[in-house]
């Protein structure tokens, strides 16, 4: 059972969802059973036990994971999530989705993911640093600049990436190795544009989807669930294209104003108060109501399993652009597809983050840094191509965008596995 922050329980195992998606894609492309089995299992899943000295002098033991799904196309790549509800099944699912995401974005990486079961909101800076460094130490032997390159995810960011880089560098040769991790602060080798990349990439996919649906962005409204890193930048860049934000939420609640909410003002409010709640001029709404808001573009940017069989038929948006990973269940997908809602699936819509992570890694390896314009231009080119590749796959097979993205990705990964062959 997966307990969500909303307090409801959902018997949805994200890894089963990922396996079901793989199975559907495998059937469509008539994939060999053995190869499907290869893709159904992560190559390695490590569980680590992390004893941490807490500020009160007591020792607390945390559990962490790193799942390495597939490296046929390149080193494992994927974020590290800190959340009380992290499970091994979730981390495995996320690592598989990373394999697909990197293949769709056509960057030379495989898929990995990490997570630690903890509540960073209830931990001091010192406790967080000790936990992060201990986790880095515990996974140090299976990560590396050419084997597995982590990045931020829910409730981790530049600060944690810097601690991991520092710990890894100290442990492995004691020289600075920025290429071990991406999503770093700029002064230690982060890329310009990385922080905004997921939201910016998502906005490019929304722009392309609007063109296909012949929707004028100037007449659109949007609702954003989860006004965090991905959600805030996504809203900002979609707003720049002319859309009006009418609803936003975070773990503390949601707000609604049909006349529009200024994204920059809301970001300031959230920075000051820690939440979107209480933004002046807006009414409060529940997260459930936000998802069902009458709007053109719905951006789920929080956690998994938010659009389910229970609420899918009440979703009124024309475009659902998934900033979060796994926000829609397979049952809900069917309903959205039947209702002619264009879903830009997570592994396509939020691929901007990992794409700029790849640019960051390239810059680190060469010790040669790009301008922000260069980063954004290359991101636009990559993501637009990825959107069109998926769109054409969906036309070719007569399937929805999610199935098409998995089909495209599985085809690319299988091609690499076949060319490399099995050893021994
Ligand atoms: P974040 O921690 O910055 O933001 C998450 C936001 O979701 C927070 O504002 C939190 O309050 C809110 N939230 C949590 N539970 C909620 C609930 N039940 N209802 C409404 N809001 C809730 O994290 P992020 O980096 O923005 O990641 C969000 C999602 O996007 C995750 O699924 C992550 O895997 C995905 N993603 C992020 C990136 C990135 O570069 N940041 C890249 C790819 C995918």
What three-state secondary structure class fits 7? coil
| 186-215 confidence digits (pLDDT tens) | 999 999 999 999 999 999 999 999 999 999
183 lines ligand 1 (CB under 6 A): no
| 373-424 confidence digits (pLDDT tens) | 999 999 999 999 999 999 999 999 999 999 999 999 999 999 999 999 999 9
Q: How far is the CA of 226 from the centre of ligand 1 (A)?
A: 6
Q: Exposure of 103 by Cβ count < 10 A (0-12 exposed, 13-18 middle, 19+ buried)?
A: buried
pLDDT of residue 325: 86
pLDDT > 90? residue 86: yes
Residue range(s) occupied by CATH 3.40.50.720 in the chain: 197-340
328 lines ligand 1 (CB under 6 A): no
Q: Which residue lies with its CA nearest to atom 35 of ligand 1?
A: 324
What three-state secondary structure class fits 364? helix
Query: CA dist 193 to 233, 352, 384, Å?
Result: 11, 10, 17
207 lines ligand 1 (CB under 6 A): no
| 236-271 confidence digits (pLDDT tens) | 999 999 999 999 999 999 999 999 999 999 999 999
Q: 368 falls in which pLDDT band (50, 70, 90)?
A: very high
Q: 285 falls in which pLDDT band (50, 70, 90)?
A: very high
pLDDT of residue 11: 58
63 lines ligand 1 (CB under 6 A): no
Its CATH class, for the domain covering 197-340, is alpha beta
Using the atom order of ligand 1, give the atom closest to the CA of residue 303. Answer: 32
Buried residues in 71-102 as b, exposed as e (16+ CB within 10 A): bbbbbbbbbbbbbebbbebbbbbbbbbbbbbb
Residue range(s) occupied by CATH 3.40.50.10860 in the chain: 14-188
225 lines ligand 1 (CB under 6 A): yes
pLDDT > 70? residue 10: no
The pTM score is 0.93
Q: Which residue lies with its CA nearest to atom 8 of ligand 1?
A: 228
Top pLDDT among 8 and 262 is at: 262
pLDDT > 80? residue 12: no
324 lines ligand 1 (CB under 6 A): yes
Q: How far is the CA of 302 from the centre of ligand 1 (A)?
A: 4
Q: Which residue lies with its CA nearest to atom 1 of ligand 1?
A: 228
Task: Name the residue of 86, 90, 228, 383 whose CB sits within 8 Å of the most ligand 1 atoms, as the mutation to test its pocket.
Answer: 228
Question: What does the alpha-carbon distance between residue 25 and residue 36 come to, in Å, rounded to a whole number?
Answer: 10
Question: What does the alpha-carbon distance between residue 245 and residue 227 come to, in Å, rounded to a whole number?
Answer: 12
Active site residues: 113
Tell me yes or no: is domain 14-188 CATH 3.40.50.10860. Answer: yes
289 lines ligand 1 (CB under 6 A): no
How many angstroms from the chain centroid is the CA of residue 23? Answer: 22
Nearest to 50 by CA among 31, 65, 33, 29: 65
Q: 232 falls in which pLDDT band (50, 70, 90)?
A: very high
Q: How far is the CA of 162 from the centre of ligand 1 (A)?
A: 20
Residue 64's region, left for phi above 0, alpha for psi from -120 to 50, else beta, is beta
Strand partners of residue 170: none
263 lines ligand 1 (CB under 6 A): no
Nearest to 410 by CA among 94, 73, 15, 93: 73
Strand partners of residue 66: 46, 114
Do 123 and 52 contact (CB within 8 A), yes or no?
A: no
Task: Name the residue of 230, 253, 323, 324 whose CB sits within 8 Å of the most ligand 1 atoms, as the mutation to test its pocket.
Answer: 230
Beta strands in 181-287, from DSSP E residues, in sequence order: 221-225, 244-250, 253-256, 283-285
């Amino acid at each position: 059972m997966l307990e969500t922050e909303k307090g409801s329980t959902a018997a949805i195992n994200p890894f089963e969802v990922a396996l079901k998606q793989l199975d559907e894609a495998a059937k469509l492309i008539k994939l060999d059973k053995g190869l499907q089995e290869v893709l159904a299992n992560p190559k390695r899943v490590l569980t680590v036990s992390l004893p941490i000295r807490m500020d009160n002098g007591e020792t607390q033991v945390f559990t962490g994971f790193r799942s390495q799904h597939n490296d046929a196309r390149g080193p494992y790549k994927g974020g590290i999530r800190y959340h009380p509800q992290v499970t091994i099944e979730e981390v495995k699912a996320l690592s598989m989705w990373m394999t697909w995401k990197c293949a769709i974005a056509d960057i030379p990486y495989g898929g990995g993911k990490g997570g630690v079961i903890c509540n960073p909101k209830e931990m001091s800076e010192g406790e967080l640093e000790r936990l992060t460094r201990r986790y880095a130490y515990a996974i140090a032997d299976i990560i590396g600049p050419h084997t597995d390159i982590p990045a931020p995810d829910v409730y981790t960011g530049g600060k944690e990436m810097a601690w991991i880089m520092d710990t890894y560098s100290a442990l492995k040769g004691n020289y600075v190795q920025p290429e071990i991790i991406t999503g770093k602060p700029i002064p230690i080798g982060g890329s310009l544009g990385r922080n905004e990349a997921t939201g910016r990439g998502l906005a490019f996919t929304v722009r392309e989807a609007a063109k296909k649906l012949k929707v004028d962005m100037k007449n659109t409204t949007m609702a954003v669930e989860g006004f965090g890193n991905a959600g805030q930048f996504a809203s900002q860049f979609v707003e720049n294209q002319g859309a009006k934000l009418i609803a936003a939420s975070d773990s503390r609640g949601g707000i609604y104003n049909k006349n529009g909410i200024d994204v920059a003002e809301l970001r300031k409010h959230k920075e000051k108060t820690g939440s979107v709640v209480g933004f002046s001029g807006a009414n409060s709404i529940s997260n459930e109501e936000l998802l069902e808001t009458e709007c053109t573009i719905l951006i789920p940017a929080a956690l998994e399993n938010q659009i389910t069989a229970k609420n899918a038929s009440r979703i009124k948006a024309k475009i659902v652009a998934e900033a979060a990973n796994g926000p829609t269940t397979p049952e809900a997908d069917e309903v959205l597809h039947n209702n002619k809602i264009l879903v830009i699936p997570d592994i396509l819509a939020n691929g901007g983050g990992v794409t700029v992570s790849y640019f960051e890694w390239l810059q680190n390896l060469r010790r040669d840094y790009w301008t922000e314009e260069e980063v954004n231009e290359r991101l636009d080119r990559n993501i637009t191509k990825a959107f069109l590749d998926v769109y054409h796959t969906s036309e070719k097979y007569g399937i929805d965008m999610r199935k098409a993205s998995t089909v495209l990705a599985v085809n690319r990964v299988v091609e690499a596995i076949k060319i490399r062959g099995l050893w021994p």
